[in-house]
Structure formats: structure tokens, C-alpha cells
A and B are shown apart, each in its own frame.
Chain A
Amino acid sequence: EAGVAQSPRYKIIEKRQSVAFWCNPISGHATLYWYQQILGQGPKLLIQFQNNGVVDDSQLPKDRFSAERLKGVDSTLKIQPAKLEDSAVYLCASSLEKGVRPVSYEQYFGPGTRLTVT
């Protein structure tokens, strides 16, 4: 079974530029997550999709960040314009959900995209 794919793996941009990240989840996984992980901290959820609908985006800085998941499969996260404090690893994860109260919400993570804003 193929894992969660992300690209690019590394990106260096100047502040005020824009950048986009791509994620392809595990086949059949309904839920997709985007996280921001700043060095030395835990992953912070930015947005959670179930199929192509948004479940939670309460921590997404909507003035500069946007995300979409067309057709309920792969997803893109965009930052425009970037700030220095956006330097972080952006993680994508997916999970398989079943039933009213799923047995578990085990997430499968991609390798991440390391963004450096100069």
C-alpha cells in the first residue's frame, strides 16, 4: 500500500512570495489533515477535510493560507504572501474513518515539506 505522498520536500522562498504544497493521501482515506510543525514543537492542525468538505479550519490563518481538496482525493495548501514566521515543516496526513464513532483515528503521515522563508 502506497503511503501519503507530498511534494515538494523542500522549498526556499523570500517573504511576500507565494508557495503551494501538494498532498496525495492513501487510497480510500476519507479524511485529510494539514499540519504546521515549527521546530521544537508538535504538529498544529491547520485544516481537516472529510472527503471534499472542511471539518475544521479554526487554526488556519485565512488571510494568507488557503487549502482545497477537489474531488475528495488530493489536496493543495497555499500560502500567499509568505512571512518569516511561516518557516516550518508542513505535514499532510490521512485517516480511514468508519461508523458513527470510529474505533480509532490513526493518522498516516507523509514525509512533510520543509519551508524556509528568507
Chain B
Amino acid sequence: GDSVTQMEGPVTLSEEAFLTINCTYTATGYPSLFWYVQYPGEGLQLLLKATKADDKGSNKGFEATYRKETTSFHLEKGSVQVSDSAVYFCALSGYRNWGSYIPTFGRGTSLIVHP
């Protein structure tokens, strides 16, 4: 079945540092890929997405590129802020042969940014 593997956290950075959170996936066909974020005390919300190979999703300074050759969708940000402290989930929406798309989430990576 489909699976998503994320780097283990927590990731601890100082403000303005560069961020990379690795995500690799296993799926048949051409899934859509997503990053969701969960800020403390809040629900999950979509951060960015990419629906086909070589697409780059971006939002709020975060970017991720759909790399089919390496089955990866790494999340990056050039300069993190304290307000970016949250749990980040990589997810895919994988095709099933009965015509539906089924979501699979990674286990999440906690990011802690210090001033």
C-alpha cells in the first residue's frame, strides 16, 4: 500500500535558519502530494500542494518540489521564524483502481524555532 516517510523530529532551529524537512513516499501511479501544518492548539491546515511531477508548491515562504525520480517532496524555507513552530505532516492522495483517491499521512515532524 501507499506510505509516507518523514524525518524524525523534533527539528530545533534558531530564527532565520534554513529549514529542510525530508519526505519520501511510496505509491503507485501519480499521487498528489501535500504538506499540512498543525500549529499549537489548532487543527491541521493545508500549507502547500503539488499535483504532478516537477511541480513546485509554495506558500508563506515554504516550498516543496514533486520529485518523481526520487519519490520525494522535501519541505524547505529559507529563513524560519518563531511563529513557524508547529508540527508538519507530509501526505499523499493515491489513486485506486476503482476511481477514487485515498489519503495517506506521514507521522509528522515537530519544528521548534528559538529566538
Contact = CB atoms under 8 A, between A and B. Distances in A.
Same assembly = yes
Interface of A: 33, 35, 40-45, 48, 50, 55-56, 91, 93, 102-112
Contacts of A45: 102-105
Which secondary structure characterizes the binding site on chain B?
strand
Interface of B: 4, 32, 34, 36, 42-46, 49, 51, 89, 91, 93, 96, 100-108
B34 to A, nearest CB: 7
A45 B103 CA distance: 7
B43 A107 contact: no
Contacts of B105: 35, 42-45
B103 A103 contact: no
Contacts, number: 60
B104 A41 contact: no
B103 A42 contact: no
12 contacts: A40-B108, A41-B108, A48-B100, A48-B102, A55-B100, A103-B51, A105-B93, A105-B101, A106-B34, A106-B49, A107-B36, A109-B45
Nearest to B106: A42
B43 A111 contact: yes
A36 B86 CA distance: 19
A87 to B, nearest CB: 17
A95 to B, nearest CB: 9
A42 B101 contact: no
Given A56-B96, A104-B93, 17 more contacts: A35-B105, A42-B89, A42-B91, A42-B106, A42-B108, A45-B102, A45-B103, A45-B105, A55-B102, A91-B43, A105-B34, A105-B103, A107-B36, A108-B45, A109-B44, A111-B43, A112-B43
Given A50-B100, A55-B102, A41 B107 contact: yes
Contacts of A35: 105
Contacts of A110: 43
